[in-house]
Structure formats: C-alpha cells, structure tokens
C-alpha cells in the first residue's frame, strides 16, 4: 500500500483521539479567529445517495452548489464531524450518471475556488462505453487536482474508489459477470490508485469498495442480494443492486471521514445519530464503524466476526 493510498496522517491517530481536534481541522482567519475547514464533494449518484433515505438527509446542513437539495454522503460526513467536535463547512457538486469529464466540461467554473479538502468520485464502471478503462479517470482527476492545487497549494485531494455492483457481477450482461463479488471493487481500486500515483496533486484514495468487501468478509453483509438476504446480515445495496442502500452510503461516509480527519469512528458507538435517524440498528452501526476502521488500517476483516 502506498503512502498516498493510506492518506495523510491516518496512521498516527489512535482511537482515543476522537475527542481531540487535530491541528488541520481548523485554521486561523485573517483576524485571528478560527475558521472552519472547507470540503468539496464532486461526484454522481454514488455520492449523493440515490435511491435511499440518505438522498435528502440533512440537506440543509451542506451547500449544494447545484441547488438540487441533496444531502447524501456529504451530509453524513458533516454530521460525523459535528459529533467528533470538528468544524467543517461542506459543499457538494453532484449530478446523476455523470463522469469527471462531464463535471470538468460543465461545472468547472462552479468549483474553481480554494478548498481545504476535495473528494472526487468517478462513474461506477469508470468509462460508460469501455467499462474498466481508467484512462479518463486518470486524465480528469489530474486536471481537477491541479486546478485545486493552483488555488490552494495545501489542498488535500482524495478520490473515492467505489464498490462492486451486483448487477455487473451476477447478471450475464455485466462486465464482471462470473467473477468474485470482490473483483470489481479490487479492479476499481487499482485504477484509483493509478490515478493517485499519476498526479502529485492527488493525496490519497478513500477505499470504499474495499470497505464493502470487508463487510462481506466479516459476515456482516450479504454478498449476493439476488438470492435474498441472509438473516442477521445487511444488504449494502438498494433495490436495483447497483446503487448503495443506507448501510452502504453510511459506510462510504465513514470511510471518507477517516480519510479526511484521521479520526476513529468506533468512538461514535451505538449512539451515533445518523444511524438512528436513517434506520440502522445500534449493532449494525457499530459493525460498520468497525469495518471502516479495520479496512483502512489493514486489519483482518474476518477477525471482526469474532
């Protein structure tokens, strides 16, 4: 695993530090007052929480730069920072079914500002016309990252590597048909890692697809929603077996939260508010918190079931 993949400073944070605000969580303004960190999310339905209760969740707590009234993963992230005692101002520029190429061509002027953190997510199969081809991911993530670095040389830019789509794995017309449920996420992760290595302005990858894989390996999530959900296990996807469900978006937001703040979400425990408000049980919430942390820190996913 490369230094970029691990992310800035994650390894130096211990679980006990959740209540302590790290040095990069806030910055001084020109008048000496503490200013919130700014975070921008760029992506599509996998970022804004399509087909789930996360879509409009706490939309008023973030700035939706397109005025669509979305909450999604950005709003979940925002709540996690508040629960951790951190001060972040969160914005989102998202559009359904769009690539980073589309955002570059149509929304570049909307996001071309100085940000402290930027989180970008590419189309779910990378290239709609050539699934699995990372060429456009590499090209446009690098263009965006350099643009943001030109605005703020200290900006933290990350890429969110997404999950295996069951419809691409279990259906005969899927690009990953016949392969392991883990394989699509692994292939996507390799492509996102290439993009991070391709640009000096990209700092790390948020391994969301690997978090899904980890939840399955731990026995917390069912690997195949087409044959029904095993009792006691979560369905990480929604009804189309393509987009995530509430549990999947919750896990995505936890993974990004760790990548940006370095904080350990296991400290939230059973009382975490988003889980309760979105219908996850206390046990499901703590399982997903454990998965997110173990996945980033290369701990055994199978051991989580013990």
Asked if residue 190 has pLDDT above 70, the reply is yes
> In the predicted model, is pLDDT for residue 195 greater than 60?
yes
Q: For 158-177, what is each residue's pLDDT tens digit? A: 999 999 999 999 999 999 99
Q: Count of domains in the chain?
A: 1
pLDDT score recorded for residue 280: 98
Q: How far apart are CA 209 and CA 246, in angstroms?
A: 15
4-12 average pLDDT score: 41
Q: What is the pLDDT of residues 271-296, one digit of tens each?
A: 999 999 999 999 999 999 999 999 99
pLDDT band at 27 (very low <50, low <70, confident <90, very high): low
**With 50 as the cut, is the pLDDT of residue 245 above it?**
yes
Please check whether residue 303 lies inside any domain of the structure: no
The mean pLDDT value for 81-89 works out to 98
Are 94 and 66 in contact by the 8 Å Cβ rule? The answer is yes
Q: Is residue 193 part of a domain?
A: yes
Q: Is residue 304 part of a domain?
A: no
pLDDT for the residue numbered 3: 42
pLDDT higher than 90, residue 31: no
Examine the pLDDT at 26 and tell me if it is beyond 70: no
Is pLDDT of 11 > 50? no
Confidence band, pLDDT 50/70/90 cuts, at residue 95: very high
For the cut 60, the answer to whether the pLDDT of residue 207 exceeds it is yes
Structural domain including 62 reads: 3-296
| Of the listed ranges 32-36, 49-53, 108-112, 125-129, the one predicted with least confidence | 32-36
115-137 residue pLDDT tens: 999 999 999 999 999 999 999 99
Does residue 305 belong to any structural domain of this protein? no
- pLDDT for the residue 213: 98
Question: Looking at residue 305, what is its pLDDT?
Answer: 87
Q: Is 291 inside a domain boundary? A: yes
pLDDT of 22 over the 80 cut: no
The pLDDT of 251-265, averaged and rounded, is 98
Check residue 34 and give its pLDDT. Answer: 80
Would the pLDDT of 9 be above 60? no
Residue 147 has pLDDT above 90, yes or no: yes
pLDDT, the chain, mean:
92
User: Does residue 301 lie in a domain region?
Assistant: no
- Tell me the CATH number at 184: 3.40.50.1110
When pLDDT is cut at 50, 70 and 90, the band that residue 19 belongs to is very low
């Amino acid at each position: 695993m490369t230094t970029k993949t691990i992310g800035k400073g994650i390894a130096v944070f211990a679980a006990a530090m959740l209540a302590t605000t790290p040095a990069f969580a806030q910055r001084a303004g020109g008048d000496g007052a503490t200013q919130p960190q700014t975070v921008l999310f760029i992506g599509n339905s996998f970022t804004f929480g399509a087909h789930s209760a996360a879509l409009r969740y706490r939309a008023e707590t973030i700035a939706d730069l397109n005025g669509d009234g979305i909450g999604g993963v950005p709003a979940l992230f925002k709540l996690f920072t508040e629960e951790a005692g951190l001060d972040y101002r969160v914005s989102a520029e998202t559009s359904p079914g769009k690539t980073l190429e589309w955002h570059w061509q149509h929304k570049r002027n909307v996001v071309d500002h100085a940000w402290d953190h930027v989180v970008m997510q590419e189309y779910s199969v990378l290239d709609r016309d050539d699934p699995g081809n990372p060429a456009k991911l590499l090209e446009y993530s690098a263009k965006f990252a350099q643009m943001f670095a030109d605005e703020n040389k200290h900006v933290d830019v990350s890429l969110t590597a997404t999950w295996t789509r069951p419809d691409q794995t279990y259906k005969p017309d899927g690009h990953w048909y016949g392969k392991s449920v883990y394989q699509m996420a692994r292939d996507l992760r390799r492509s996102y890692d290439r993009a991070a290595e391709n640009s000096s302005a990209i700092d790390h990858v948020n391994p969301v697809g690997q978090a899904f894989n980890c939840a399955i390996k731990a026995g917390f999530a069912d690997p195949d929603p087409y044959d029904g959900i095993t009792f006691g296990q979560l369905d990480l996807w929604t009804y189309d077996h393509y987009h995530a469900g509430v549990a999947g978006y919750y896990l995505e937001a936890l993974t990004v939260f760790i990548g940006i703040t370095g904080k350990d979400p296991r400290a939230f425990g059973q009382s975490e508010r988003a889980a309760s408000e979105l219908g996850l049980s206390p046990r499901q919430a703590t399982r997903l918190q454990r998965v997110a942390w173990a996945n980033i820190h290369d701990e055994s996913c199978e051991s989580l079931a013990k």
